[in-house]
Amino acid sequence: MADLTTTFLGIKSPNPFWLASAPPTDKAYNVNRAFEAGWGGVVWKTLGEDPPIVNVNGPRYGAIHGNDRRVIGFNNIELITDRPLATNLREIREIKRDWPDRALIVSVMLPMNEQSWAKYVPMIEDTGADGLELNFGCPHGMSERGMGSAVGQVPEYIQQAAAWCKKVARVPVIVKLTPNITNILPAAKAAKDGGADAVSLINTLNSIMRVDYDALTIYPATDGKGSHGGYCGPAVKPIALHMVAEIARSRATAGLPISGIGGITDWRDAVDFLALGATTVQVCTAAMVYGFKIIDDLVDGLDNYLDKKGFASVHELVGKAVPSVTDWQYLNLNHVDKAFIDQDLCIKCGRCHIVCEDTSHQAITATVNGARHFEVIDAECVGCNLCVSVCPVENCITMRPMTSGTDPRTGRTITREKADWTTHPNNPGRRQT
């Protein structure tokens, strides 16, 4: 049994799985259920100034479905908590008292003025909460009022607000970043420069789910109109992983603790975030789609994985894959992969053939000696991985590196010597060796 205990900014939790600041963490009732189910921590749904905001009384959520109506992508237009501040503070205090071993972070969103932070931060800290998460990410509603992603999109604002908060805060401060920017690094660096102890990411992406095909309006809609929402769920995980990895590997931000968020549904998703530099992970959509019980698989799936890999604790996994992330220009152009189809596993659906034939390199047969047979033509295969991606049978098609001989496509001899774009003769700005 690996040790799943996680220490993040000195805050301990029995496992690295926290519920993200969102509807599941809006009330003591839900949070009690989450802790009973085994969640390691929660980030309380974002508190704002009194009087509280209001929500629409129509649809707040929309979804993109895959096979069998599995939710692949999810969006919401819910705002921060719409309950009175005093109610939230009282419940936070009770929860922390009842669950001392769990991490309890409070999300907060305040206007861009120092007095607000000076007024509200001490009130929140007084509950005994373990830390604060500054919501600079919500892309809908609050951003129209100069908060949420309106702050997160301007590094100077991030730094300023983080600094105001840090000036009064005694507990650790996490800045939650918006992905609705072109480059995550200035935002992360601004948080660090403002004194934040950590970043969490990603918040949701600006999105419209679809139209109503009968009414020809945006869907979902409230009384015929809708507004863009924040997109999340499994579909956004790759975007989140990229941003997490960029922060973990960039000189200006490396070492800044990260709480990873974005589409985590099972333990493998958590491994992705942890290996790319996050120390804890936060979950919302999966809980909202399946309920809190998914924590069982998250916990023992990760536990079994750590055991299998010989890691004694979660912390040993953190950042393990970061060194493998690099810029395109440093990829070894001498390396040659070829796809290989395991004929024993092949079910002869022909998907690999038709996608290669129609859209790529004409490198997979459809018939051999008159019989339906799919095999890779090495002389055409560029190793692009498209066939692997579309094959319905896992591990039927694999990429195999050539280690010797000649690449039948290019006629070049396979070499173990590495060579990348920086020295490539076609690169006008190449390094002279």
Q: Output phi, psi for 133, to 5 deg.
A: -120, 125
366 binds other proteins (CB under 8 A): yes
Where does residue 207 rank: exposed (0-12), middle (13-18), buried (19+ CB within 10 A)?
buried
Among 123, 252, 331, 347, binds other proteins (CB under 8 A): 347
Give the separation between CA 205 and CA 230, rounded to whole angstroms.
5
* 50 vs 358 by CB, closer to other proteins: 358
- Binding-residue total with other proteins (CB under 8 A): 14
The DSSP line for 177-232 is PPS-SS-HHHHHHHHHHTT-SEEEE--PEEE--EEETTTTEEES-BTTB---EEEE
The nearest distance, CB 359 to other proteins, in angstroms, is 12
338 binds other proteins (CB under 8 A): no
The nearest distance, CB 396 to other proteins, in angstroms, is 10
Among 72, 118, 163, 349, binds other proteins (CB under 8 A): 349
The nearest distance, CB 76 to other proteins, in angstroms, is 25
Q: Output phi, psi for 123, to 5 deg.
A: -60, -40
369 binds other proteins (CB under 8 A): no
Q: Which one of the spans 29-37, 128-136, 301-309, 341-349 is the region binding other proteins (CB under 8 A)?
A: 341-349
The nearest distance, CB 395 to other proteins, in angstroms, is 13
Q: Output phi, psi for 43, to 5 deg.
A: -105, 110
Helix (H, G, I), strand (E, B) or coil at 31: helix
Q: Which one of the spans 116-124, 159-167, 258-266, 342-350 is the region binding other proteins (CB under 8 A)?
A: 342-350
Contact between 84 and 52 (Cβ < 8 Å): yes
CA atoms within 13 A on the CB side of 81: 28
* 112 vs 354 by CB, closer to other proteins: 354
The nearest distance, CB 346 to other proteins, in angstroms, is 8
Runs of H (alpha helix) within 19-127: 28-37, 85-98, 114-125
Query: Which residue is listed with tokens 């990873």?
Result: 260
67 binds other proteins (CB under 8 A): yes
211 binds other proteins (CB under 8 A): no
260 has which bridge partners?
A: 201, 281
Give the separation between CA 277 and CA 266, rounded to whole angstroms.
18
38 binds other proteins (CB under 8 A): no
Q: Output phi, psi for 51, to 5 deg.
A: -70, 155
Give the separation between CA 209 and CA 228, rounded to whole angstroms.
8
Site string for other proteins, 383-402 (x = CB under 8 A): ---------xx---------
Among 27, 96, 189, 353, binds other proteins (CB under 8 A): 353
The nearest distance, CB 213 to other proteins, in angstroms, is 9
338 has which bridge partners?
A: 400
Contact between 250 and 261 (Cβ < 8 Å): no
64 binds other proteins (CB under 8 A): no
234 binds other proteins (CB under 8 A): no
Q: Which one of the spans 55-63, 66-74, 160-168, 214-222 is the region binding other proteins (CB under 8 A)?
A: 66-74
Contact between 227 and 141 (Cβ < 8 Å): yes
Among 354, 399, 414, 419, binds other proteins (CB under 8 A): 354
Active site residue 384: no
The nearest distance, CB 354 to other proteins, in angstroms, is 4
Q: Which one of the spans 47-55, 111-119, 304-312, 344-352 is the region binding other proteins (CB under 8 A)?
A: 344-352
210 binds other proteins (CB under 8 A): no
Give the separation between CA 339 and CA 420, rounded to whole angstroms.
22
Interface ranges with other proteins (CB under 8 A): 67-69, 347-351, 353-354, 366, 372, 392-393
Active-site residue list = 138
